[in-house]
Structure 1
Amino acid sequence: MNTPLNDAALAEIALFLKRLQWAFVIVGALAVVWLLAPILTPFVMAALLGWLGDPLVDRLQRAGRSRNVAVTLVFTAMVLLVLLVVVLLVPVIESQIAKLVKSLPHYRDWFLGTALPWLEGRTRLQLSSWLDLDRLVELVRTHWEKAGGAAATMLGYLSRSGFAVLAWVANIVLLPVLTFFFLRDWDVFIDRAAALVPRKHLATVTRLANESSAVLGGFLRGQFLVMVILGLMYGVGLWLVGLDLGILIGIVAGLFTFVPYLGPTTGVVFGVIAALVQYGDWKHVVGVLAVFGIGQVIESYWLTPKLVGDRIGLHPVAVIFAVLAGGKLFGFLGMLLALPVAAIANVLLHYARDRYTHSRLYGGDQPEILLDTHLSNGGIIVPDDNSGGNKDAGQA
């Protein structure tokens, strides 16, 4: 016959083994994601697109259209939007890249003739000696074996590049097909996932899932609009300043806006360098700074509060860490999953904090200290089981 102590010990052991089992399941899932990252990338992108488009499909269904018709309309709108972007932006970006390639010798001459002497004068370091061609050739001869190893590695990569190109093309072809199926069957996937949740936890899991979806969906839709608007503003502004590469720099800065502070910083650095190389005066540098300054004011006081707000609830440092850590661990797939995982983790952390602040571990078994709103001096009353406790406190 088991004693109460033995029953408690067995319960603790069972709980520990259950947690250990879940830990192995999580580690195994992460290992599978890491191994299958190149294959999973189009599926994750399609799932994100299907999830973002599902609210519009549901809205069309509520308006009286069938699921298939609503999915077809939303999917067609997505395809047309992508085609419009490609038709409008690809020729412009191609022209900008051609200008960049053509002007590379000017950037090299500016760096060697202007920027490098200025840096040497400020730092008192002989940086030009490290860029001397003869010195570089000598370094290659000294480390020939290492250079040969690197060359062999590069040749091996180039030999495999044909397969990489084929995989890239296959992913592009798969993406619209997968997106259509995710849009059509999104509610089915959700219902099947909900059917696997234990019934006693269904209400809690549903609430947390809805919170995560609302937080992340609002953030991604709003952030995408902010990126597009800022990219157009920066590109047009730098073009008006007179930079030949202004549109390209503006587009890059708009895309990098997804990571806090990285977009404007990158745009300012590239814009100032382009202005100095092309014109060599401070008037155009001031113009570049004015474009990004106005853009930051509009983003901070209008775009972000109206379109994004504080929906994701993450500090910018946490966003940067999530994106960099996801990219480091799982490559491009990790960068795609970084913000969704961070948003879900943030919702779960808020839930865990609420559970903790309402637990006996946090509050203990002691009676609560209640603020007496009737006392003007901010005094407190400690409740007591004896009827004379409050009376004595009042007399004191």
Structure 2
Amino acid sequence: PVYIRQIDVFLGEVNNYLKDYNATIAQAIDFARFEDRYSGWVETAVLSSVSYVSSFTMSLINFLIGIVISIYLLKDKEVFARMFKRLLYALLPVGTAKTTIDIFQEMDYIFKRYIIGKSLDCLIIGVLAVIGLLIIGGPYALLLGVIVGVLNFIPYVGPLLRMIPAFIITYFYDPFTAVLVLLFIFLLQQFDGLWLGPKILGDSVGITPFWVITSIIIGGSLFGLVGMFVSVPITAMIQVVLSRLIDYRLNRKNLNELL
């Protein structure tokens, strides 16, 4: 936290310096080749650059701090789990506490299965991409295959991102081959999005491909990229909770064996 505050203060001082001494900066740069109307644009560009650098620096620092905190959480996860378990048994009836713990354990299992399933999906797509690029005869097949597999973790946006570098790199090699690569990656994405991905994720988290696709669409429309990534495990968790609730209500009515 001390370093974060120091960096924040330093970037604020730089920003104020550029505001106060903009005239000095303008003199240091040769503006003889510019018209007067460009001076405001240059000032805005410089200040915007400083703002972006400051924002990026703070985001990077927060990301690194998040990694450190995550390591400590993983290291002491048994301690936190025991504390949570003791708290539930202390505050709730024994049956309710046991049911709550069972639900959280099942959610944890589903989320792990989702990560494993998504990783398997990306691995298969990456291998297929390498094989296809080798057959087409495109350059850097292994490198582009790795890029395709890694970016497959990002729903919807990932396919577009992996098409761009593959097309650009291949275009400098041969324009016709670049078109073939673009078409191949597009078809590979359709195969992954319409069959392979829902099939693997559905089998991993225990929900049908229909709910996989539907949850991704709803999660993306509501929460953007993050929503698309976590929508499938969240849907599976909701299914677990609803299933437990329905079973409980049916048992109370003695209808569980009939339905």
Superposition TM-score, scaled by structure 2 size: 0.56
Letter in 2 for 1:221: I
CA distance in 2, matches of 1:326, 1:303: 21
- 1:343 corresponds in structure 2 to 236
Task: Tell whether 2:180 aligns with 1:286.
Answer: yes
2 CA distance for matches of 1:161 and 1:169? 12
Work out the CA distance in 2 between the residues paired with 1:287 and 1:299.
18
- Report the Cα distance in structure 1 between the residues aligned to 2:40 and 2:218, rounded to whole angstroms: 37
Could you tell me whether the CA contact under 8 Å between 1:322 and 1:338 is conserved in 2?
A: yes
Supply the distance in 1 between the matched residues of 2:98 and 2:63 (Cα, whole angstroms): 41
**CA distance 1:215–1:167, shift in 2 (3 Å):** closer
Residues 235, 192 of structure 1: alpha-carbon distance in 2 compared, 3 angstrom cutoff: farther
Q: Does 1:238 align with 2:129?
A: no
The question of whether the paired residues in 2 share the 8 Å contact of 1:241 and 1:287 is answered with yes
Q: Give the structure 1 partner of residue 73 of structure 2.
A: 178
Distance in 1, matches of 2:179 and 2:106, equals: 45
SS at match of 1:309: helix
Structure 1 distance, partners of 2:62, 2:188, is 42
Query: SS in structure 2 opposite 1:258?
Result: coil
The AA in structure 2 aligned to 1:347 is V
Q: Are residue 311 (structure 1) and residue 208 (structure 2) matched?
A: no
Deviations 1:226-268 (CA, angstroms, capped at 9, x unpaired): 2233234424543564444544543343234335555445544
CA RMSD of aligned residues (A): 4.8
Aligned-partner SS, 2:175: coil
- Cα pair 2:85 2:101 within 8 Å, conserved: no
* Cα pair 1:259 1:320 within 8 Å, conserved: no
Structure 2: how far apart are the matches of 1:168 and 1:292? 33
1:208 to 87, 103, 109: 103
Deviation at 1:157, TM superposition (A): 3.7
The offset of 1:279, in angstroms, is 0.7
Task: Give the AA of the match of 2:82.
Answer: V
Counterpart of 1:311, as a letter, is: V
Answer whether contact 1:241 1:288 (CA < 8 A) is retained.
no
Distance 1:335 1:298 in 2: 15
Structure 2 partner of 1:155: 50
Alpha-carbon distance in 1 for matches of 2:91, 2:105 = 15
Pairwise CA distance, 1:185: 3.2
User: Equivalent residues in 2 for 1:5-84 (5 A)?
Assistant: none
Seq. identity, %: 19
Further displaced range: 197-206 or 221-230: 197-206
3-state SS, counterpart of residue 153 of structure 2: coil
Q: How big is each residue's C-alpha offset from its partner over 1:342-390, in whole Å with a ceiling of 9 and x where there is no partner?
A: 4333433455666789999xxxxxxxxxxxxxxxxxxxxxxxxxxxxxx
Aligned equivalents of 1:303, 1:337: Cα separation in 2: 14
Which structure is larger by alpha-carbon Rg, 1 or 2? 1
Flag the structure with more relative contact order, 1 or 2, with Cα contacts below 8 A and sequence separation at least 6.
1
Whether the aligned pair in 2 keeps the contact of 1:268 and 1:289 (CA below 8 Å) is no
Mark the CA change 1:317 to 1:167 in structure 2 (over 3 Å): closer, same or farther: same
Count of paired positions: 217
2:201/2:212 contact within 8 Å kept: no
Q: Which amino acid aligns with 1:322?
A: G
Matches within 5 A, 1:337-376: 339-351=232-244
Equivalent-residue separation in structure 2 for 1:191 and 1:345 (angstroms): 21
Change (3 A) 1:315 1:359: farther
1:322 touches 1:342 (CA, 8 Å); kept in 2?
no
SS at match of 2:76: helix
Give per-residue Cα distances to partners, 1:124-157, cap 9 Å, x unaligned.
xxxxxxxxxxxxx99xx58x76774564243234
Aligned with residue 195 of structure 1, among 73, 78, 89: 89
